[in-house]
Amino acid sequence: MRWAVRKSSHIIAISEATKQDIVRNYAVDPQRISVVYHGLDKTRFRIPEDSDQASIDTVKETYGITKPYMLYVGNVQPRKNITNLVRAFTKLKRDGYQDIQLVIAGAQAWRVQDIFQALGEEIRQDDIIFTGRFADEELPPLLWGSSGFILPSFYEGFGLPVLEAQACGVPTIVADTPSLTEIAGEGALVCDPHDPESIQETIQQVWNNPDLARDLSTKGHKNATMFSWQRCAQQTLRVLINVYEIFKAVNARKR
């Protein structure tokens, strides 16, 4: 990475937070970095319709989802903070919230055993469901069927699942980390990823307050509309043309 940053003519960062990380860690001139946000497939990630109920029922049956559930989407690895998420959920259950499940949707990645060993018996609860790797077409129904989405990662460069959840109208919770709060905008509750109690409290807020859940759904959906792959492509093309023009001008002076 250090070599690539040093040798590149220009850098595209996927968030302002990522740009600042590059500046801080590699002492890069900020003028050499352009922020271009990812987009969103709005034909897949949208408010559900009545005709989508069959696919929602199918994924619930496939993964044994029998109660209202909070959904996490992403690989299972230490950076994603699964440990504190499960600890928060375990405390939630102990405090009397029995009619809730936690669905962790994603493939097991690196150091999974470290996570399982740290959690011990907490990971064996019937109401914690690990889907493992799932089919792409299952993601929208998983989101549509959920009562809330949570991404408590310690670090993300962007956080695309946040936008996907918001586009589906799902009340969303994110960790208080720069890229996630940047991307989620006003359409998400924020928790301290290092504090299981903070994670628990934000889940309870969504669970106990229908008005808040509706407000998050509305604001999140509005936020997601601002991201598109067309805009991403246009901005990327603009960066490429600018870099090319600079390269051409430098070569002309050398002649």
pLDDT tens figures, 52-61: 999 999 999 9
Is pLDDT above 80 for 142?
yes
Interatomic CA distance for residues 14 and 21, integer angstroms = 11
pLDDT on residue 250: 85
What is the total residue count of the chain? 255
**Which CATH architecture group holds 50-224?**
3-Layer(aba) Sandwich (3.40)
Q: Is 64 helix (H, G, I), strand (E, B) or coil?
A: coil
% of residues, the chain, pLDDT over 70: 100
Contact 62, 56 (CB under 8 A): no
> Distances in Å between the alpha carbon of 106 and those of 40, 116, 159, 234?
19, 15, 14, 31
What rounded mean pLDDT belongs to the chain? Answer: 94
pLDDT on residue 251: 83
Is pLDDT above 80 for 71?
yes
pLDDT on residue 123: 67
pLDDT on residue 117: 83
Mean pLDDT of all residues in 183-196 = 98
Mean pLDDT of all residues in 3-13 = 94
Mean pLDDT of all residues in 188-217 = 97
Interatomic CA distance for residues 156 and 176, integer angstroms = 11
pLDDT per position as a tens digit, 82-132: 999 999 999 998 899 999 999 999 988 878 787 878 777 776 777 999 999
Could you tell me where in the chain the CATH 3.40.50.2000 domains are found? 50-224
Interatomic CA distance for residues 214 and 206, integer angstroms = 9
Q: Which amino acid, 241? A: I
* pTM, two decimal places: 0.94
Q: What is the DSSP letter of 136?
A: G
pLDDT on residue 114: 79
Q: How many CB atoms lie within 10 A of CB 93?
A: 17
Contact 207, 147 (CB under 8 A): yes
Q: Is 108 helix (H, G, I), strand (E, B) or coil?
A: strand
Looking at per-residue pLDDT, the higher value among 150 and 251 belongs to: 150
